[in-house]
Structure 1
Amino acid sequence: MSDELAGLRIRDLRVVFDGFPAVDGVSLDVRPGDIRFLIGPNGAGKTTLVDAVTGLVKATGSVCFGEQELLGRPVHRIARLGVGRTFQTATVFEELTVLQNLDIAAGAGRGALTLLRRRRGVPESVARALETIGLTGQRDRLAGTLAHGQKQWLEIGMLLVQDVQLLLLDEPVAGMSQDERDATGELLGVVARDRTVVVIEHDMDFLRRYARTVTVMHVGKVLSEGTVAEVQADPKVQEVYLGHAAEPAVQEA
């Protein structure tokens, strides 16, 4: 893990929609290289928090990645600071190949027409991303023909070639098979060797296996934080999740 890894520091973050506080004074720290899971019931504010971090909604307070304040910056400026996200539905160019998707994401300095042509060589960053996400053998397949899990991995690869240092992933294993979930968990571990990862998730088995730390949100606030065991043993969490500490019935927004 690099000494230059940056962490995420959020202080008194507030997002209000029509007078309703969707995120209500949240403060949290995600240390460099963490795999932080955000969980909470419907309406807890998890996705809105990520929207605020990435500039998609207006917010007050402070959000710093490393030494850089993110709040108040436009979306593209935040992205240039090394912050990237995925959504619940993978946003890849389905009519292009895996390699072309990564080429476009990498901004390889080629025009739109040349991006569509088959090239002789592959940039090192793209080749490295292909290997990391396990799609080297699929590089010439149309993205639209990939399996569901592979599309999610491709979207993560598109962030990697942009040298994103903070990955914000919204339900990355939703709809995946067990094998795909396992492969995704292993991928998160590889990615977090030199990046910081925040995951919005409701799959408790996946969380128990791959989360390093957990933040539980409820009605726009932080309810509990800690390891998986610490969070599940927290009486406040047990109360919110119907008193079941071992198997909290988490539902996602």
Structure 2
Amino acid sequence: MSEALLEVRGLNVVFSGFHALTDLDFTLRRGELRFLIGPNGAGKTTLIDVITGLTRPASGSVRFDGRELVGRREHRIVRAGVGRTFQTSVVFEELSVVDNLDLAAGFRRPLPALLRRRRGVSDAVAAALDTIGLGDLADRPAGVLSHGQRQWLEIGMLVVQRPRLLLLDEPVAGMSRDERDRTGELLRTVARDHTVLVVEHDMDFLRRFASTVTVLHEGRLLCQGTVAQVQADPRVQEVYLGRAKEAA
């Protein structure tokens, strides 16, 4: 079994008396493609916010590759090798697809270098274009992309930064069936070279593309295991899957 890349221990997050996360322990191993699920308010996005430095926990530890992240600034966590997407894609609409990727690839470069006119496409940007399948749209403004294509571009913008851990918050929300399928294949491709944690609500997508799943409920770890193990757990059926069936 591969060694742990991310270790969360005894994590507690409180907002105005509300316990968003309670005594949470969570481990993510190198090379994993892990899905994180749970009802609204379960604490999924809060966990991502703590890992990336956006939220400060009341107590607990978050160690990435053996180093503590709690208390570190967001940009230092990014430079340590942690990248994330948000529920709403963030791209520069007026720039071309390739310029968005080039700008992301140069995040470690000083400002004068970023302002210089680009000469050709770097190997890293070309590889990212191929990975996300937007080579034919490389010179088109990002603003004309479909919802799914924008999400793929944002994932590509993370990949060119060479993070060791990718945190993806509901990457298939609002996508068509075809876009969801392509996104699933993209995640599998990205996971060959990165550790990936996916926050997701789409249960059909999870059944088709997940292998290991962690379930949160009311800020606590409810269970984790394979898709089959999680689906068979009576607690999950009651708390998550059962509610989804009733809503349908």
TM-score, normalising length: structure 2: 0.92
- 2:224 pairs with 1:225: yes
Q: Structure 2 vs 1, CA of residues 236 and 141 (structure 1 numbering), >3 Å: closer, same or farther?
A: same
- 2:162 pairs with 1:158: no
Contact 2:4 2:27 in 1 (8 A): no
- Distance, in Å, in 2 between the alignment partners of 1:210 and 1:220 is 25
2:213: which partner in 1?
214
- Distance, in Å, in 2 between the alignment partners of 1:151 and 1:6 is 31
Contact 2:38 2:240 in 1 (8 A): no
Letter in 1 for 2:160: V
Provide, for residues 26-85 of structure 1, a one-character-per-residue CA deviation record: whole Å limited to 9, x for no partner. 101111111111111111000001000000000121111222221111000000011010
SS, match of residue 92 in structure 1: coil
Contact 2:83 2:165 in 1 (8 A): yes
- Specify every segment of 5 or more residues in structure 2 that has no aligned partner in the other structure, as ranges: none
| Alignment match of 1:30 (pick from 20, 28, 31) | 28
- Distance, in Å, in 1 between the alignment partners of 2:221 and 2:126 is 40
SS, match of residue 207 in structure 2: helix
- Specify every segment of 5 or more residues in structure 1 that has no aligned partner in the other structure, as ranges: none
Contact 1:37 1:207 in 2 (8 A): yes
TM alignment of 1:62-101, pairs within 5 A: 62-101=61-100
Letter in 1 for 2:91: V
TM-score, normalising length: structure 1: 0.90
Provide, for residues 133-152 of structure 1, a one-character-per-residue CA deviation record: whole Å limited to 9, x for no partner. 11111110000001111100
SS, match of residue 241 in structure 1: helix
- 2:13 pairs with 1:10: no
- Distance, in Å, in 2 between the alignment partners of 1:242 and 1:38 is 14
Letter in 2 for 1:47: T
Contact 1:41 1:218 in 2 (8 A): yes
- 2:55 pairs with 1:57: yes
SS, match of residue 167 in structure 2: strand
Contact 2:94 2:142 in 1 (8 A): yes
Letter in 2 for 1:22: A
- Distance, in Å, in 1 between the alignment partners of 2:83 and 2:54 is 12
Contact 2:85 2:155 in 1 (8 A): yes
Contact 1:241 1:250 in 2 (8 A): no
How much has 1:7 moved relative to structure 2?
2.1
Contact 1:10 1:28 in 2 (8 A): yes
- Distance, in Å, in 2 between the alignment partners of 1:153 and 1:210 is 16
- Distance, in Å, in 2 between the alignment partners of 1:62 and 1:12 is 7
How much has 1:205 moved relative to structure 2?
0.6
Contact 1:14 1:22 in 2 (8 A): yes
SS, match of residue 150 in structure 2: helix
How much has 1:104 moved relative to structure 2?
0.9
Letter in 2 for 1:106: A
Provide, for residues 101-129 of structure 1, a one-character-per-residue CA deviation record: whole Å limited to 9, x for no partner. 11111117454543xx4x44211111111
| Alignment match of 1:40 (pick from 34, 38, 41) | 38
Contact 1:50 1:168 in 2 (8 A): yes
TM alignment of 1:134-153, pairs within 5 A: 134-153=133-152
SS, match of residue 62 in structure 2: strand
Letter in 1 for 2:103: I
- Distance, in Å, in 2 between the alignment partners of 1:56 and 1:73 is 10
- Distance, in Å, in 2 between the alignment partners of 1:157 and 1:45 is 26
Contact 1:204 1:250 in 2 (8 A): no
SS, match of residue 80 in structure 1: helix
